[in-house]
Structure 1
Amino acid sequence: MKNGEIIYQSRDGLNLFAKSFGPEDADLTVLCLHGLTRNHKDFVPMIQSLGNHRRYIAIDVRGRGRSDRDQDPSKYRLDVYVQDVLDLLAIVKPSKLVLIGTSMGGLMSLLLSQMLSQELLGVVLNDVGPKLEQAGLERIAGYVGNFIEHDSWEDAALAVEKSQHSAFPNFRHDDWMKFAKRTHKENQDGKIVLDYDPAIAESLKNIEADISVEMQTWALFASTFKRPLLVVRGEISDLFSSDTAVKMVHRHGRANVISVSNVGHAPILDEPICVKTIESFLKKLELGQ
């Protein structure tokens, strides 16, 4: 590990990347799992806003960011991603762990909740739950894999604004530029491109909300019942409904939910209500409450 960079190998030979922030010997490790088309940089605004005495590890799931692209697109699926995370945890060996998962990363967190034992103290799910809304799924499927080479960061920021404006109606130009720099990279030709493998779009073909899958995911959600849970929902999210959030809190018994005003899918987690609530959630876990 160098300058907080963790590079490790998957069981099938890919070089995978994670970024560590904060003291390595911290009592608590917060593992941050990003959404479908994002990467570890998605969590930098949140990490910079939270207490710096903890260790935060934000990963690049295979096919994203600085992790290798997989030559076999069929491996872009949750069970493979989770195995990669387990391999990382075997290296890091945290004694106390909290998961923060956004969208796809939240689904990964549900699977990990079932697999991890006493070291997992709690989970934060960001705009995701056992039931996903068809409108949101179709919107995401509509833009994933649409790769356009931009001549400048300004052009990339304008493109991001066009595709994401409905989720962040209060964003200004500076916000869109920061968003573009978290989700894009400069390629060898000097063009600005999205920072993920377009082949991940294969997993979204003909995607639809399926009742049998939903039932299985609700059953999987039960794995969170033995630990504190914080549910974050974007107030205008088209993927994660308020009804599902309420049902999750009711079934869990000791979960809390917060709504991020005038934000859709998915909150950045540096919004004031998120920073305040996540900090309080982590502090309580550190104190054993």
Structure 2
Amino acid sequence: MPHRIKQPPKAYSKHYHLGLGFHGFHRINYLEWGDPAKFNTQETLFCVHGLTRNAHDFDYFAHEMCKDYRVVCPDVVGRGDSDHLDSAEGYNYLQYNADMNALIARLGVTEVNWIGTSMGGIIGMVLASVAQSPIRRLVVNDIGPEVSRDALMSIAEYIGRSDEFDTQKDIETYLRGIYREFAPMSDDDWVQMARYASRRTKTGKWRLKVDNRVGDAFRDSISFFNVDMWETWERITCPVLVLRGKDSSFLSEDTAQRMLEGGPQTTLVEFEDTGHTPTLRNDEQVQVIADWLKEN
């Protein structure tokens, strides 16, 4: 049983910044953990969630790490408490990269340590690969430069296709089904995930906090190309920690090994009885990142 969060009142503060796209401005919600009085002297951990997830996925991790770091966790546009866009065309990596760059600038820092789960790892790899990147150290959680078509299609089957639910418990049951590879997850973790992943509608029903058009954009994108980012990977120069669930359907053992053979200085850590993705909700997974940050 993973150690539970004993979260003090107001352990984090909630903010937003404005992103800009072809449609106009949109609000990006983010959570900030740590002591504001120490922000100028603390390194920043910038934590970005997966395709259909939200900033609260990092609550356990951020709570444990904010004693030593400023921890910032955004909701990518179309997810969580961030705005929804007017068109599915806006949900693309160009927009996500621009929004995250704008948020880094808002924080008033020149360097960040990037913790990216799945989609968040892809965004991190892209930003780390460009000249004068603000990413000092990069942690990619169960994602790599190559993803199989089968793995992508498994997400395409459900993303953006959920309707209303009668209760929040129904939301929890649904999440347990589509995220069955997540580990570790206690019953309390599933309850918390359902709480932050859903909202009540005016009719009294419940809906997920993900714009259904995110799913439309995702299906359109994978119909044109596979995820092949090896050239991007080769351009990364900062140290990289790769986390992999040994039962992952997204980051294969062959891809993980290839990441060690070329590109940036890379460390690989694998977790038993875990698929896609390690949830960073226990001391073991958090400590791996904490130790690596101190050593690199």
Whether TM exceeds 0.5 here: the answer is yes
1:98–1:120: 8 Å Cα contact kept in structure 2?
A: yes
Higher helix share: 1
Q: Corresponding residue for 1:132? A: 147
- Tell me, yes or no, if structure 1 residue 62 matches structure 2 residue 77: yes
TM-score by length of 1: 0.89
2:188 to 174, 181, 188: 174
Q: Corresponding residue for 1:183? A: 197
- How many residue pairs match? The answer is 278
- Tell me, yes or no, if structure 1 residue 202 matches structure 2 residue 207: no
2:182–2:279: 8 Å Cα contact kept in structure 1?
A: no
Q: Structure 1 residues 183, 260: closer, same or farther in 2, change over 3 A?
A: farther
Q: What secondary structure sits across from 2:129 in the alignment?
A: helix
Q: How far off its partner does 1:188 sit?
A: 3.1
- Tell me, yes or no, if structure 1 residue 80 matches structure 2 residue 95: yes
When structure 1 is superposed on structure 2, of 190-199 and 169-178 the one drifting more is 169-178
2:31–2:72: 8 Å Cα contact kept in structure 1?
A: yes
- Tell me, yes or no, if structure 1 residue 71 matches structure 2 residue 82: no
Contiguous gaps of at least 5 residues in structure 2? 1-11
Q: Corresponding residue for 2:32? A: 20
Aligned positions of 1:121-270 closer than 5 A: 121-165=136-180, 167-168=181-182, 171-205=185-219, 207=222, 210=225, 214=228, 217-224=229-236, 226-252=237-263, 254-270=265-281
Q: How far off its partner does 1:169 sit?
A: 7.5
Q: Structure 1 residues 169, 126: closer, same or farther in 2, change over 3 A?
A: closer
Contiguous gaps of at least 5 residues in structure 1? none
Deviation string 1:51-106 (CA, Å, 9 cap, x unpaired) is: 52210100111111111100021010001110011111111121431011111111
CA–CA distance in 2 between the matches of 1:248 and 1:128?
A: 11
TM-score by length of 2: 0.87
**Cα-Cα RMSD:** 2.1
2:273 alignment partner AA: N
Q: Structure 1 residues 253, 145: closer, same or farther in 2, change over 3 A?
A: closer
Q: How far off its partner does 1:118 sit?
A: 6.5
Q: Structure 1 residues 87, 116: closer, same or farther in 2, change over 3 A?
A: farther
